[in-house]
Every structure is written in structure tokens, then in C-alpha cells.
């Protein structure tokens, strides 16, 4: 949990002094890597959002300086999700829901585990209330993982779209650079990691 200070405001403090100290939950993750087990990644993403929601609720209820709503606390979720944009993981995080009939559960019966995670509630889909959007797009970052055999976007930065705006994303290395230096995969002497950093700037809107 991070808290902004007056130094974060470049054009003077906001009129409402309650807005000076903004609370931001920053979470980082690394989901399972193997594409043969998308169900594991999906369950991991459910567990992750459940913990983030629990943290937000805990901070909200214990914050003594003023009354906070759930949506007053910003969330940044970053990491290596080992999941493509058409995956159940991305769908769940970016839309806030995923049907239990989704193909990436691979036909396994996770209903008991999901009911436990959802505090006894049983329904046809799993949900979370975080209202997340991805800062990255394929147009800006065609890939974040660049190996000899695999090149795709699997690393993301998700942010609270209800109270934050993504101002810009620092794009990845241009393909022309890889071609010029004959870099067919990473790690490489010129690029020490097979994952590229995802860097973005955000504005808090409320």
C-alpha cells in the first residue's frame, strides 16, 4: 500500500486537501508458465484478485483520517501473467468476470474451490470488483517476451480504470533493431532478459 504526498502534485495541491494523500495498492505477480495448464493460471488470477480485494477492504475499513469507499483506493497490478490477450486470465482481469464453463478450466470441476474462494456463493461465473484495464496494447507493445521460439505479449500492467487514466506507455524495442543486430531471441549479450520492461505513466482522476 502506497500513499501519495503533496510532492506528487506538479501544479499545486488540489483544492480538496483530502485528495492530496491518495492510496494506491501496488501488486506484482508471476503466474505459472506452462501453456498446458491454463486452468492453473486462471485459478491463480482468482486467488490474486481475492487477496487484492481483501487488502483494499482492510485498508478502507481501518483508515481513520476520512471515510473511504472501495473505489477511492487505486490499484496497480503488474507482472508476468504468462497469458495471451485472448486467454481466460486476461478476460477475467480486464472484464471482471469469467464463466465457469470457460474452456481454460479444461473440464475440471473447480466448483468447490471457487465456492470456497467466493465465501460460499455459487454462481455460473467468477467475478471481481476491481474494474481493471490494461495499459498495454499490441499496437504499442507487440511482445513483452522475446525468445527464439516464442514472441508475444504476456506481461501486463492493469490499473483501476474508474479512478486512473493511462497517459502513455513506453513501447518495446523496434523489430528493425533486432533485425539489424541479428537478435533472434533473448537473453542475448545486448538484451539480458527475455522479458521487456513495461513502463507506463498514469494520472489519478479522483
Give the active site residues.
Answer: 80
**Residue burial 166-177, b: 16+ Cβ < 10 Å; e: rest:** beebeebbeeee
SS3 (DSSP) at 43: helix
- Tell which residue, 8, 90, 17, 85, has the closest CA to residue 49: 90
What sign does the CA torsion over 141, 2, 29, 117 have? negative
DSSP secondary structure letters along 48-84: HHHHHHHHHHHHHHH--SS---GGGSEEEEEEE----
Question: Which cell is 153 given?
Answer: 505479449
Asked if residue 19 lies in contact with residue 65, where contact means CB atoms within 8 angstroms, the answer is no
Q: Provide the CA 167 distance to its chain's centre, in angstroms.
A: 16
Place of cell 506452462: 34
Amino acid at each position: 500500500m502506497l500513499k501519495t504526498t503533496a510532492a506528487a502534485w506538479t501544479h499545486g495541491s488540489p483544492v480538496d486537501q483530502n485528495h492530496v494523500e491518495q492510496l494506491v495498492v501496488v501488486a506484482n505477480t508471476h503466474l505459472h508458465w506452462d501453456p498446458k495448464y491454463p486452468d492453473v493460471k486462471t485459478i491463480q488470477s482468482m486467488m490474486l484478485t481475492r487477496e487484492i480485494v481483501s487488502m483494499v477492504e482492510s485498508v478502507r475499513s481501518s483508515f481513520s483520517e476520512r471515510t473511504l469507499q472501495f473505489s477511492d483506493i487505486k490499484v496497480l497490478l503488474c507482472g508476468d501473467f504468462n497469458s495471451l490477450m485472448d486467454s481466460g486470465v486476461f478476460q477475467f482481469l480486464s472484464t471482471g468476470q469469467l464463466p465457469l464453463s470457460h474452456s481454460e478450466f479444461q473440464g475440471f470441476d473447480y466448483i468447490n474451490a471457487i465456492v470456497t474462494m467466493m465465501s460460499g456463493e455459487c454462481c455460473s461465473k467468477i467475478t471481481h470488483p476491481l474494474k481493471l484495464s490494461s495499459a498495454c496494447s499490441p499496437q504499442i507493445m507487440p511482445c513483452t517476451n522475446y525468445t527464439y521460439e516464442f514472441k508475444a505479449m504476456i506481461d501486463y500492467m492493469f490499473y483501476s480504470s474508474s479512478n486512473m487514466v493511462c497517459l502513455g506507455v513506453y513501447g518495446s524495442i523496434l523489430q528493425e533493431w533486432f533485425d539489424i543486430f541479428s537478435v533472434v531471441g533473448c537473453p542475448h549479450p545486448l538484451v539480458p532478459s527475455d522479458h521487456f520492461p513495461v513502463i507506463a505513466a498514469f494520472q489519478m482522476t479522483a
